Amino acid sequence: MSRNASWAGDRRPRVVVLGPGDRATVIAAVDNLLPTIREHADVVAVDLEFAIDLRDLQFDLAIVVGGDGSILRAARRMERRQRPIIGVNLGKLGFLADLAPVEFAAVWEEVATGRCLIADHLMFDCTVLRGGAPLHQSIGLNETAILGGPPYSIFDIELYVDAELATTYSCDGLILSTPVGSTAHNLSAGGPILRKTLPAFVFTAINPHTLTVRPVVDDADRIYELVVQRPLAATSVVVDGQLLCVLEAHDRVRVQRAEMTFQLVEVRGHSYYRTLREKLGWSGRLRG
Residue 6 has pLDDT above 80, yes or no: yes
State whether 43 and 90 are in the same domain: yes
Q: Is the pLDDT of residue 149 over 90?
A: no
In a domain, 284, yes or no: no
State mean pLDDT over 55-80: 94
Same domain membership, residue 112 and residue 126: no
In 3D, which of 219, 175, 182, 185 has the Cα closest to residue 200?
219
Q: Is 103 helix (H, G, I), strand (E, B) or coil?
A: helix
Give the pLDDT of residue 277: 78
Q: Is residue 285 part of a domain?
A: no
Residue among 26, 30, 29 nearest 16 (CA): 30
User: Once rounded to an integer, what is the mean pLDDT over residues 248-267?
Assistant: 95
Q: What CATH number is attached to the domain comprising 82?
A: 3.40.50.10330
50 and 64 inside one domain: yes
What are the beta bridge partners of residue 124? 140, 257
**91 in helix, strand or coil?**
coil
Expressed as residue numbers, the domain containing 168 is: 122-259
Per the annotation, the verdict on 68 as an active-site residue is yes
- By the 10 Å C-beta count (0-12 exposed, 13-18 middle, 19+ buried), 176 is classed as buried
**24 located within any domain:** yes
CATH code for the domain of 228:
2.60.200.30
What does the pLDDT read at residue 283?
Answer: 61
Apex CA 114: angle with CA 108 and CA 118, to 5°? 95
Q: Which of 10, 47, 53, 68 is catalytic?
A: 68
Length in residues, the chain: 288
Cis peptide preceding 151, ω within 30 of 0: yes
* Order of strands, sheet of 216-219, starting from the edge strand that comes earlier in the sequence: 216-219, 200-206, 173-177, 143-147, 236-239, 242-246
Question: Do 272 and 245 reside in the same domain of the chain?
Answer: no
CA distance 185 to 48: 26
CA distance readout (Å), 62 to 85, 126, 188, 265, 282: 5, 24, 29, 10, 30
Please say if the pLDDT value at position 286 is more than 80. Answer: no
- For the stretch 223-237, pLDDT in tens is 999 999 999 999 999
Q: Is the pLDDT of residue 15 over 90?
A: yes
Shared domain check, 154 and 74 = no
Mean pLDDT across the stretch 99-122?
93
d(CA 138, CA 177): 15
**232 and 149 Cβ atoms separated by less than 8 Å:** yes
CA distance 61 to 141: 18
Question: Cβ(43)–Cβ(150) under 8 Å?
Answer: no
> Is 63 strand, coil or helix?
strand
Assigned domain for 286 exists: no
- Total domain count for the chain? 2
Q: Could you tell me which residue, 288 or 21, shows the higher pLDDT?
A: 21
Q: Which residue has the higher pLDDT, 9 or 222?
A: 222
Q: Do 49 and 146 lie in a common domain?
A: no
User: Residues 157-213: pLDDT tens digits?
Assistant: 999 999 999 999 999 999 999 999 999 999 999 999 999 999 999 999 999 988 889
**Shared-domain flag, residues 146 and 218:** yes
Residue 276 has pLDDT above 80, yes or no: no
Amino acid letter, residue 169: Y
